[in-house]
């Protein structure tokens, strides 16, 4: 069984750390795409949280070992190289395009909660007014980060910005400045992370 | 190992595996519902800003959209889908949502 951590381009070397359940990391090539994997004789049976952490640490380590990292969702596994090869062949064009998009980039997540949140809406009017406030705040943040942003995604109540690694500190500063200028909005910035939100690969 | 010889298939197809078909169809249907929900919400916000809705209409529309948003969250959880799964890559046109 093969556990996939990420598809990469410009890999200079495998991270010097173990994979899920202490497995050895390998790089293999499938349909012209390099995948970082580990091999397992059976599905992981240990603590799933420990496995998820091990997976995430490998992906984060790959950020400094490759020009472009496209993380695979935790738990993506294949019976063998043939099955992985078929999956990559089916999505090869999409994977290559995504690798190009995220080249040299990381993602920043920003969760915005304006006063009077949608969650707390107690009436139809309150819901629409909260949505209007949220939309307006999101637009203002998009504008503030426009110069740093290569792509934007939305997910699970947050805005996710794809920015070049070198620009990440300045982008985080811009988010903090935005938070200071909007004291009525709760702003939580996370990252930089590997670009999970821009083409994450699933089996 | 090189798999270039494997015939390339269109990306984002619905898997033929019976266990995956239901999820694939749910993803497609929910993507379209989410698109319509967002369009309706934008239209409602625009009309509210323009003052072309009375109080009763604002309340009714808001409640409808709020319940639809809640139901979408339930359905996404049921099928193990995330916000970014409810999207379609339209190539040069960009993403649907």
- Model confidence over A78-134: pLDDT tens digits? 888 888 888 888 888 888 989 999 999 999 999 887 665 555 667 899 999 888 888
Q: What pLDDT shows up at residue A119? A: 59
Which of A169, A168, A189 has the alpha carbon at shortest distance from A179?
Answer: A189
Domains and CATH numbers, chain A: 2-100 (no CATH), 105-193 (3.30.70)
Is residue B93 domain-resident? no
Place of tokens 């015939």: B7
User: pLDDT of chain B along its 97 residues, tens only?
Assistant: 333 333 333 344 445 566 677 778 888 888 888 888 888 998 999 898 889 999 999 999 999 999 998 898 899 888 888 777 777 665 555 556 5
Q: Is the peptide bond between A117 and the residue preceding it cis, with omega within 30 degrees of 0?
A: no
Beta-strand relationship, A158-164 and A105-114:
antiparallel
The continuous run of DSSP H or E covering A8 comes out as strand A2-9
Q: Judge whether B9 and A92 are in contact, CB under 8 Å.
A: no
Is residue B42 domain-resident? yes
Q: How many domains does chain B have?
A: 1
Cβ-Cβ contacts under 8 Å for A130 (sequence gap 6 or more): A114, A116, A117, A118, A120, A121
Q: What pLDDT shows up at residue A14? A: 95
Question: Residue B73's domain spans which residues?
Answer: 19-85
* Cross-chain Cβ contact A89/B82 below 8 Å: no
Of A85, A90, A121, the CB nearest to B1: A85
Is residue B9 domain-resident? no
Give how far Cα A194 sits from Cα of A5, A69, A158, B3, B19, Å.
11, 7, 16, 27, 30
SS3 for A201?
strand
Is residue B40 domain-resident? yes
The verdict on ipTM greater than 0.85 is: no
Is residue B12 domain-resident? no
Measured CA to CA, the distance from residue B77 to residue B13 in angstroms comes to: 22
Q: What pLDDT shows up at residue A6? A: 94
pLDDT tens for each residue of A175-191: 999 999 988 888 999 98
SS3 for B87?
coil
Which residues from A are below 8 Å from B40, CB to CB? none
Measured CA to CA, the distance from residue B84 to residue B78 in angstroms comes to: 16
Which residues from B are below 8 Å from A85, CB to CB? 1, 3, 6
* Cross-chain Cβ contact A127/B6 below 8 Å: no
| Minimal C-alpha gap between B56 and chain A (Å) | 9
Q: What pLDDT shows up at residue B9? A: 35
User: Which of B1, B2, B3, B58 is the best mutation test for A, with the most CBs of A within 10 A?
Assistant: B3
Is residue B27 domain-resident? yes
Question: Pseudo-torsion of CA A33, A39, A43, A49, nearest 10°?
Answer: -80
**Helix/strand/coil (H, E, C) string of B25-75?**
HHHHHHHHHHHHHHHHHHHHHHHHHHCCCCHHHHHHHHHHHHHHHHHHHHH
Find, in chain B, the residue whose alpha carbon is nearest to that of A199: B84
Q: Judge whether B3 and A89 are in contact, CB under 8 Å.
A: yes
């Amino acid at each position: 069984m093969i556990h996939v951590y990420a598809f990469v381009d410009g890999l200079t070397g495998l991270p010097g750390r173990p994979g899920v359940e202490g497995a050895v990391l390998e790089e293999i090539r499938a349909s012209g795409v390099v995948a970082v994997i580990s091999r397992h004789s059976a599905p992981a049976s240990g603590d799933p949280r420990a496995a998820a952490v091990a997976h995430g640490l490998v992906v984060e380590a790959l950020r400094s070992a490759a020009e472009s990292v496209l993380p695979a969702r935790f738990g993506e596994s294949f019976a063998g190289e043939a099955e992985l090869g078929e999956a990559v062949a089916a999505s090869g064009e999409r994977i290559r395009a995504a690798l190009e998009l995220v080249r040299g980039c990381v993602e920043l997540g920003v969760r915005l909660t304006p006063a009077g949140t949608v969650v707390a809406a107690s009436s139809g009017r309150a819901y629409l007014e909260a949505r209007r406030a949220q939309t307006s705040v999101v637009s203002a943040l998009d504008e503030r980060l426009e110069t740093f942003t290569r792509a934007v995604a939305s997910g699970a109540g947050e805005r996710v910005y794809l920015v070049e690694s070198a620009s990440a500190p300045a982008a985080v500063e811009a988010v903090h400045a935005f938070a200071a200028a909007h004291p009525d909005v709760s702003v939580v910035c996370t990252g930089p992370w590997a670009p999970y939100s821009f083409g994450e690969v699933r089996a | 190992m090189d798999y270039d010889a494997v015939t390339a298939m269109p990306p984002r197809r619905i898997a033929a595996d019976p266990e995956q078909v239901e999820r694939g169809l749910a993803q497609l249907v929910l993507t379209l519902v989410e698109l319509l929900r967002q369009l309706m919400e934008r239209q409602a916000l625009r009309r509210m800003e323009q003052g072309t809705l009375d109080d009763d209409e604002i309340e009714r529309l808001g409640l409808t959209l709020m319940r639809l948003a809640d139901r979408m969250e339930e359905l996404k959880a049921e099928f193990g889908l995330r916000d970014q799964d409810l999207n379609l890559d339209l190539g040069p046109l960009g993403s649907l949502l």
